[in-house]
Chain A
Amino acid sequence: MSTVPDISGKVTVSVPVEQAFRVFTSSFGNWWPREYHYGQAEMAEAILESGEGGRWFERGTDGTERDWGRVLVWEPPQRLVMTWQTNGQGQYDPDPDHASEIEVRFTADGAGQTVVELEHRHLDRLAGGDAIRSMIVGGGGWTAILELYAKAAQ
């Protein structure tokens, strides 16, 4: 019943599937673009904990932690599902009914290559109605996101 189209992406990496999974998860903070974070302080590190129920979060340079979501499915080295639950004010929303989901599939592609396919779905659950509306129409949280855009674009 999703009214918002899923986001999907696909990349091929030149490493075996086990390594691709490892880099994606245990080295998450090494590749996640630093511009994209939600805490007040600059981001010191981004962490994706291993195993079902693992936390996905950032730690700021001031030591504060800010949750992004939870690991729902942990099937190394083939599959990973996690939630991303942020409301219109850019805050963590712990309600599972407001959680979008990201599924990542790792498929060995001969010759030591791995195809990594990502799907970010249930975006409509993030709506949070008025929250998102105020973010867009009233500025506020949206301004922060626009600053991220601007930074990322340079």
Chain B
Amino acid sequence: MDTYGDGGLGLLGDPTRRAIFELLARRPSSVGELARQLPVSRPAVSQHLRVLKDGGLVVSRAEGTRRVYQLNPDGVSALRAYLDRVWDEALTSFQKVADDPDPEQEQ
């Protein structure tokens, strides 16, 4: 994937990160709660959460002794990540079609 150079790309391209994102879309959760629902370790979940946080998709807050993660209510960053992924796929697909001079492809 050589189409995009900057940060946002790939934030939701990773299947585990996407799963975490989906779980958080349902309800705010701690690392432990997320790890129980996923086939990955707690440190791996933490790692992914850090990436999602750096990308502006997820925020966290302290709740007693727990740290709870939730989707960033400033939805624009999430929308950006979504569109980033859309364009990445779209341009890759465009390149494929443009490079393939199949007359059926180009009507």
Contacts and interface: CB of A to CB of B under 8 A. Distances in A.
Interface of A: 3-5, 7-15, 19-20, 22-24, 26-27, 30-33, 36, 84, 88, 116, 118, 120, 123-124, 126-127, 132-133, 135-137, 139, 142-143, 145-146, 149-150, 152-153
B52 to A, nearest CB: 13
A126 B79 contact: yes
Contacts of B78: 136, 142
Nearest to B12: A149
The B contact surface, by secondary structure, is: helix
Contact of B75 (A11, A23, A133): A133
Contacts of A146: 21-22, 25
A27 B97 contact: yes
B95 A11 contact: yes
A69 to B, nearest CB: 13
Given A7-B87, A27-B97, A143-B25, 12 more contacts: A8-B6, A10-B4, A13-B99, A23-B94, A24-B94, A30-B106, A31-B94, A31-B98, A118-B87, A123-B76, A133-B75, A146-B21
